[in-house]
Structure formats: structure tokens, C-alpha cells
Amino acid sequence: MWVDWLKNFLLYSGPYLIVSGVGILLAVTRWQRHPNVSLLLLLACLLNIACVLVYPVANLIVPDWWEQGLRTIVPLLNLVAGVVATGLFIAASLSQRPVKSESLWTSQDESELDEEPIQPLRPTPPPRPTPPPRET
């Protein structure tokens, strides 16, 4: 019984746990640069893990409660927590974006933007010297 339960649990819930674990690692490693985004991502991943674990573990530990009405309450709470986790993922992905003062449809001068210039990942190489002209 335990082996079948564990195999089914890992088959269906394993990818969610792996992605949430990677999200937690990303949030912790980028906390210094982006604390607000990292906090939202960390909360969303932890809530996602709780959503994945609550229903199967509760059903395994206390199977008799499912006959007494918890069969509808736990999935409803799980659904609400999943919706909140998805909202936190969306909020994390859209937070700390630069705010532009005008519409996207109008042309703007780069000096009007409220954002810092993007630094390249690696320095640009110096320009190559131009070869001398060929004599014909």
C-alpha cells in the first residue's frame, strides 16, 4: 500500500515539488538584489508545496475523516490556496518593473525613462582597427 501510494504521489506531485524547490532556491539566492520579488516567489513556492502535500497526506493519515464532510472542505481550501499561489507567482513576475510616464504607443526619448541602463553580461570588446586601404 505504501509503495503504491508513494509511487503515485511522486508521479503526479514530483514535478510540482521539483519546480517549487528550484523556485525557492532562486528566491533565496537572489534575495539581496530583488527582496520584494524574492519574497513573493518564496511565499508562492511554499504555498504551492503545501497545496501539493495537504490533500494526499491528510487522506493517508486520516482516511475516516473523509466520510464526515472533510472530503469537500479540504479540496476547497486546497483550491483557494492554489489560486493565491498563482496570484503570488503573477505578482512576483510583474513586480519591480520600470514605470514609464507615457503610453507605449508614443515614442519616447531614452532620457525620459525612469530606469537604469541595462548592463551587458560581459564587457563589449574594443573596436577592431580598420585595415589600411589596398593599393591597386
pLDDT of 99 over the 90 cut: no
What is the chain's alpha carbon radius of gyration, rounded to the nearest angstrom? 25
pLDDT, average across residues 82-101: 79
Stretch 22-49: mean pLDDT = 90
Q: State residue 103's pLDDT score.
A: 52
* Three cell numbers written together for 40: 513573493
Q: Using one digit for the tens of pLDDT, what is the confidence trace for 30-41? A: 888 888 888 999
pLDDT tens per residue, range 115-126: 666 666 677 778
105 — pLDDT class (breaks 50, 70, 90): low
CB 55 within 8 A of CB 75: yes
